[in-house]
């Protein structure tokens, strides 16, 4: 069974060495995983959502049952960041984000909230340097 992105990040976070973390990121490499990491670590990706807690009802169905997955939902992330959809009203954007969160397994919803605020490092021990080494093909905007 394919791991959820929250599970992949936890596995990587638990790895003891940078080399192990890089290998795990590469082993579980998907466009969805890379998208979440870019949203979190790329300074040029600017969230159009209010920072902090999101008023949503976590989906409490057991993992692997009645959920959408970030693996599929990541294609809609452009709606929530600068340069994505300019025609979307802010209230509609926030409603869509809440709907997405409520459809996801709670761990994945938490990943998305952390990434929107560029806070994945608060929960997972994964550095940008680690991500850059794992995915040299990522073109970072606003490189420092």
Instruction: Encode the chain (144 residues) as per-residue pLDDT tens digits.
Output: 689 999 999 999 999 999 999 999 999 999 999 999 999 999 999 999 999 999 999 988 776 666 789 999 999 999 999 998 889 999 999 999 999 999 999 999 999 999 999 999 999 999 999 999 999 999 888 654
Distance (Å, rounded) from C-alpha 73 to C-alpha 27? Answer: 21
* Contact predicate 123/107, CB 8 Å: no
pTM of the model: 0.92
pLDDT at 126: 97
Which residue intervals of 4-140 are DSSP H helices? 5-14, 18-27, 31-41, 70-73, 90-103, 106-116, 120-123, 128-134
* Contact predicate 39/84, CB 8 Å: no
Q: Give the residue among 56, 41, 6, 59 at the shortest CA–CA distance from 117.
A: 41
pLDDT at 144: 43
């Amino acid at each position: 069974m394919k791991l959820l992105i929250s599970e992949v990040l936890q596995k990587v976070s638990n790895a003891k060495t940078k080399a192990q973390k890089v290998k795990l990121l590469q082993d579980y490499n998907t466009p969805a995983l890379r998208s979440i990491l870019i949203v979190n670590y790329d300074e040029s990706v600017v969230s159009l959502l209010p920072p902090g807690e999101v008023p949503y009802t976590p989906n409490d169905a057991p993992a692997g049952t009645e959920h959408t997955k970030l693996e599929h939902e990541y294609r809609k992330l452009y709606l929530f960041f600068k340069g994505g959809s300019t025609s979307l009203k802010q209230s509609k954007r926030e409603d869509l984000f809440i709907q997405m969160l409520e459809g996801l397994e709670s761990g994945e919803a938490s990943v998305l909230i952390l990434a929107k605020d560029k806070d994945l490092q608060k929960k997972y021990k994964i550095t940008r340097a680690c991500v850059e080494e794992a995915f040299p093909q990522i073109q970072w905007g606003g490189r420092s």
